Chain A
Amino acid sequence: MSSLQGVGIGRSIVVGPVLRMPDKLPEPATLSSTIGPDAEKERVTHALAGTAADIRGRGEKAGGKAQEVLEAQALMADDPTLRSDIDTRVEGGATAERAVFEAFAGFRDMLLGIGGYMAERATDLDDVSQRVIARLSGVAAPGVPESDTPFVLVARDLAPADTALLDLEKVLAVVTSEGGPTSHTAILAREKSIPAIVSAHGALDLTDGTVVIADASTGSITVDPTAEEISAAQAEAERRAARASVPVGPGALADGTPIPLLANLGSADGVEGAVKAGAEGVGLFRTEFLFLDAKAAPTVAQQYTHYSKLLRGFPGKKVVVRVLDAGADKPLSFLNDAPEENPALGLRGLRALRASEHILREQLTALARAQSESDADLWVMAPMVSTVEETRYFVALARELGIRTAGVMVEVPSSALLADRVLTEADFASIGTNDLTQYTLAADRLLGSVASFQDPWHPAVLRLIREVGRAGEALGKPVGICGEAAADPLLAVVLVGLGATSLSMSPAALGDVRAELLQHTREQAAALAEAALTAEDAAGARAAVRALLPA
């Protein structure tokens, strides 16, 4: 028996056999063909036709929206323009593998060049390319493995395209060797309530069929466990399930201190699910979807319709809307499409809106109109605020246009450090832990190679959050959390200990967090926070907090 250690997402413990997700294929070598163009073309024909048939078969199985996406992928494999491009390369002496690789890459770059919606299709093209090359090379196609029995999925990391096809019914847990607690894998795991262990070095050495115990609460993986260990894990799983099944209701600590649990939503379509999961309101409503895929900003009337729909879902409840958060990493042609070398440090969030103030004015106008016709309690906040002056600017503009409650997101260390001044100007603060971690540790959220830095348990991040918590308490202003950190049940308790007054997360995470909060009093939460603050790194903070928990 051996064991692996990673970062756990969730609270469950599972036992099951491993199924490995095949790695991305290496780039085919630029060798000259040894069998000649005609034979290579023959291979291409078979590989393309086989891949198209395979994709269509999966599409028929999936049905619905997925089938439409897969049909478009099959058409790419059938594409005559692509085929003639491949043939030209083969005639130039390339192997079928290399010709396919280069031809697909050419079209992918073209799609990326068009940008926007088309750029998203580039991933589809990559997937088809990998499947064709795998078929040519006689290896397993990369992608999500399929099985009729439940399994523990082991992968390097999961991409959005993989997870879209994942049959979650069969996935007991996800274990990745890379990716941090804010990776796509981790976000998916929280959203779908699947236990996950990320950054588990050595996980890729696990072979298909190996039985493991994966304990997301400690991030440990036991390989080839004994029968006793398996029955102990199963008993523990039942104990945890029983503990987590608290009735849906308002969030509160063990001593009755209310901690409102709110939902993060990306469109008004998610309202029903959030209400069902017991959300007491919305802590983060992202408005980007209204703007993405648009050449011009949506009109005030269009926006108003959508905001009204959202507010109708939460009568008498708090709804926090974030104005458009765009930047060079999520470019919108009408806002800022100037290429930037460091988009995360560029003209983004409120900075970009301020540079195109009419868009901000229109959005606030639409929100104010929706507010006036609703009995929901609308709060509006600005993203990426880094100075007191920006806070003053946004709050003044929001008030001028009729918004009753205006606040800012604290995502940049400067805002956290000056939280007392920021909260003097703003009605509330909401901490975006993902960006706050990125800026505190100087590690790009989207870059896998620095994912290990991207951990909101890091005491440096927690100390900044404490600054905001203290300022909120001193000034009597609410401090919410709306990053992924709030969805980590134990970290949620620590955040409350640091002064957070409400927590917002994906609706799926509400149940676990609600159950965990009920285990701790305010005093205990403060003690856990204190322990985390004195650690020297994220792992140390986790360990220090766990050490204080009852066994």
Chain B
Amino acid sequence: MKKIEIFEPALCCPTGLCGPSVDQNLVRLTAFQRSVNHSGHAMIVRRNLAQNPHAFARNRQVVNLLETDGMACLPITFNDGKIVKTGKYPTNDELTAYLGEPLAKTKQQ
């Protein structure tokens, strides 16, 4: 199964709502993630520094990037194990591209 993995800074909740402001980006991402994951054809996994530090420490590429670029490298997006984006969340279009056309079509909206 196709797997997209996103390493994010520490957040209280995945929507970022309990942060200082509403990050529409996170709200959008959460919705997209839910629709993809509920389809059962692909998986978007999010690793949050506060809750999944082990996933960060275990991933050599993530640790290296954090050491060279600092926190600014987060979020880091992996597509099937390869880094495809750093420093910003992927857009829905980008996620659609990572997932491949036919699969993503059903997930949009």
Q: Do A and B bind each other?
A: no
